Structure formats: C-alpha cells, structure tokens
C-alpha cells in the first residue's frame, strides 16, 4: 500500500524550488504532488508528475494532498495556513511562522480543533555550522557558558527593486528573515530566555525596512546571549562565538547546502552538506594548569532532509516534532 505523504507547495519561487521540492522528491516517504504557480508555469520542466494550480484555493480542493507547505510572503502565512487547516490539511510553515504570537496561537488552536499537524520549517537547525556549535555546547568542553554571539553578516548596500522583502509590511525586515533562524537556534540550545531587549534600525540608503538588528537575551546563571544582524558588513566576522569558563569556540558560517542546491546538486548526492576544506571551527581551551590548547572541530555532514524526516516521523510514526508550540510562541514574541 502506498502510504507516501502527498504534498502541495504554495509557491514555486526560491523557497519552493530550492528548499522544498528537491527534498520531497528524494525522501522516499513523500510525493511532491502539486504546486501553485500564479503566472510562470515551470514546475513541469523538472517535476513532470506535479500538478500546477493557478491558486492556493484550487490546491486545497485537491483531496489527495495531505500536507501543504506555506512558503508565500511572510505577511500571508497566517491567512494561507488557516485556510489549509480549515481544509483539513497538515501544514508546514516557512519561517517566520507568522508575524505575531497571537496569530500563531490562533493557528495552533484551530489545528487542534481539526486534528491536523501544524509544523514550523526551521531548516537552519540542520546547518553544518550550527550543528558544530551544538556539538561543542553539549560536549561540556567550554565549561559553564558566559557569553554567546550569533551573527548574520551580509553586504547588500542597495535596496533590491521589486522584492516583497523590501516592502514595509508586517513580517519583513532582517529580524523576521534572518533573526527567525538565529532566535530559533538559540532557543533550541538554551531554552526560552528570562528576558530580552532589542535595537532595530534602517541603515541602507532608501531602505523602508529594518536592516540592522541587535538582540540581547538573558538566561539563568547570568548567561548573556547576543544576536546581531546587519546588511552592511563587508568583512563578515565569525557567525558563532561562545565563551565559557574553560574556553572559547569560534565558527564562521560555512554551511554549503544552499549553494549546492543553487548549483543543481541533489540532496541525495554523497557530497551534499559536506563542508569545504579549512572550514573547521576553532576550539580554544585552558586546562587546570593554565595551559592553552587549540584544536580544529570538523563539522559533520549536514542535510536539510532531516526536516522532512522530522515531519514524516511526526505524521506517520507519532513522534513529537522537535520544535514545540511553546518555542514558536516565544520566538515570535522576540521577533515582534
């Protein structure tokens, strides 16, 4: 009996064509069944068996579809996810989950009424660089953590014309587009913070959205965590710096999966998710005698396929999804 999870994607731009369709094709428990293409019809060039619908409402009328990926512009996530839930579909929502915590709470409430799953898509939990950070934290080699920095450094001085991400609408700006990744990663490592403060600004010429963000999160035992996101950094700093009572770990943003997908590499390629040489993180420790030691920490092979495996394990095997409702609500409160 064919028990694959027939899946529809709400849009076939960068997100749909890069971060969803290739994995749905490669994972044996999923079937990429349909997509919404409002203007250009191109899915058939790569996925001959996928249906192309003209509207999201038309996709929802397809009774064979069990899971819907909501990967439309940020401010539409709530509206589209609610429609899908009311159509008795399980839903996987791209980041940011919604634009407000109140919207997320309503979606979870409706999903429970309908008996469907509502799942956040946070693929950066499976970046090789983040997994290296997680490995070092869990090893205890840093002792008690004192100060942690997560950064997204990019240089994009010019405003991108005709991009919905540049529109001053709810859910736009770097805190939602990149901060959602960073805050999710921090919550997954350290839990929900005791309190936080935030500074936002718009620094690029003619920018209508916030393109600089600094968030300070306070945790028990006086752990200080800082998130900095800027679109005006010409020489990126290490993306992860962790200082503890026994040492420091530094790691640049070195995950290769997005570039590999852009180049056409498939997720089942044995080289997919393997970091380039000389991409190791640096662990510096001080022993009880005061001697300093440095070692390179090589990243394990990473794969966003793990997101879809998590979805499969939840929908078919009844296992708990690794990102909880409580974590998403906390994340959105910080993003707001």
pLDDT (tens place) for every residue of the chain, 336 residues total: 479 999 999 999 999 999 999 999 999 999 999 999 998 899 999 999 999 999 999 999 999 999 999 999 999 999 999 999 999 999 999 999 999 999 999 999 999 999 999 999 999 999 999 999 999 999 999 999 999 999 999 999 888 877 878 888 888 889 999 999 999 999 999 999 999 999 999 988 888 888 999 999 999 999 999 999 999 999 999 999 999 999 999 999 999 999 999 999 999 999 999 999 999 999 999 988 889 999 999 999 999 999 999 999 999 999 999 999 999 999 999 999
- State the pLDDT at residue 1: 43
User: Are the CB atoms for 69 and 16 separated by under 8 Å?
Assistant: yes
Beta strands 145-153 and 223-230, pairing class: parallel
In angstroms, the Cα distances linking 76 to 213, 220, 233, 328 are 23, 36, 30, 17
DSSP 164: G
Q: At a CB cut-off of 8 Å and minimum separation 6, what does 155 contact?
A: 231, 232, 233, 234
Q: Where are the domains of the chain?
A: 5-121+306-335, 128-301
pTM of the model: 0.94
Query: Could you check whether 5-121+306-335 and 128-301 share the same CATH topology?
Result: no
Please state which CATH number belongs to domain 128-301. Answer: 3.30.360.10
Q: How far apart, in whole angstroms, are the C-alpha atoms of residue 293 and residue 142?
A: 12
- State the pLDDT at residue 189: 98
The strand pairing partners of 195, in sequence order, are 218
Name the superfamily (CATH) of residues 5-121+306-335: NAD(P)-binding Rossmann-like Domain (3.40.50.720)
Residue indicated by tokens 């991400």: 165
- State the pLDDT at residue 210: 85
Query: In terms of DSSP H, where are the helices of the chain?
Result: 14, 21-26, 56-60, 77-86, 101-114, 128-139, 174-177, 179-190, 257-262, 305-317, 325-335
């Amino acid at each position: 009996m064919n028990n694959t999870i027939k899946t529809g994607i709400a849009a076939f731009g960068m997100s749909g064509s890069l971060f969803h369709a290739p994995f749905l094709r490669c994972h044996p428990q999923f079937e990429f069944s349909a997509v919404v293409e409002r203007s250009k019809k191109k899915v058939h060039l790569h996925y001959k068996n996928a249906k192309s619908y003209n509207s999201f409402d038309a996709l929802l009328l397809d009774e064979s579809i069990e899971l819907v990926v909501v990967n439309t512009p940020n401010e539409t996530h709530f509206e589209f996810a609610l429609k899908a839930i009311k159509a008795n579909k399980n839903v996987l929502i791209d980041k940011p989950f919604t634009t407000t915590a109140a919207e997320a709470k309503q979606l979870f409430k409706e999903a429970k009424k309908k008996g469907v799953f509502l799942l956040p898509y946070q693929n950066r939990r499976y970046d090789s660089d983040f997994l290296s950070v997680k490995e070092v934290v869990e090893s205890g080699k840093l002792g008690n953590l004192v100060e942690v920095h997560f950064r997204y450094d990019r240089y994009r001085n010019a405003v991108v014309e005709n991009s919905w991400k540049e529109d001053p609408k709810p859910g736009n700006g770097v805190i939602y587009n990149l901060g959602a990744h960073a805050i999710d990663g921090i919550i997954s490592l350290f839990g929900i913070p005791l309190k936080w403060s935030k500074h936002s600004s718009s620094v690029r010429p003619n920018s209508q959205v916030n393109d600089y963000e600094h968030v300070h999160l306070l945790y028990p035992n006086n752990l200080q965590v800082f998130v900095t996101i800027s679109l005006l950094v010409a020489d990126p700093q290490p993306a992860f710096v962790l200082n503890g009572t026994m040492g420091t770990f530094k790691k640049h943003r070195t995950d290769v999966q997005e570039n590999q997908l852009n180049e056409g590499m498939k997720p089942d390629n044995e080289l997919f998710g393997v970091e380039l040489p000389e991409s190791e993180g640096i662990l510096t420790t001080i022993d009880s005698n005061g001697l300093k030691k440095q070692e390179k920490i090589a990243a394990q092979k990473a794969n966003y396929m793990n997101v879809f495996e998590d979805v499969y394990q939840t929908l078919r095997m009844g296992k708990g999804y690794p990102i909880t409702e409580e974590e998403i609500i906390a994340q959105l409160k910080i993003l707001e």
